[in-house]
Amino acid sequence: MKARVTVTLKNGVLDPQGKAIEGALKSLGIEGVASVRQGKVFDIELGATDKAKAEAVLKDACEKLLANTVVENYRVELV
């Protein structure tokens, strides 16, 4: 079973890397970009075949390692 975990900063948390990317896009002449927020994507392959168990394992991984839940949100998708 394959999964994708997307980790993003919570609203209200400053994102200096996103601001730097936004500035770089503007300096390259790319117009129409209002703002940029950066994040992380993890593509994970699991040995589990049970959907509920896989989601529980991934939630545990996010809570313990993949996301800093104080300042980040995460979304788990089984693909």
Residue-level pLDDT at 20: 98
Residues ≥6 apart with Cβ < 8 Å to 3: 43, 44, 45, 46, 54, 58, 76, 77, 78, 79
Edge-first strand order for the sheet with 72-78 is: 39-45, 2-9, 72-78
Q: Domain with 10 in it: what CATH number?
A: 3.30.1280.10
Residue-level pLDDT at 48: 82
Residues ≥6 apart with Cβ < 8 Å to 56: none
When pLDDT is averaged across residues 71-76 and rounded to a whole number, the result is 98
Residue-level pLDDT at 8: 98
Find where tokens 């703002």 sit. Answer: 35
Per-residue pLDDT tens digits for 13-68:
999 999 999 999 999 999 999 999 999 999 999 998 899 999 999 999 999 999 99
Report how many domains make up the chain. 1
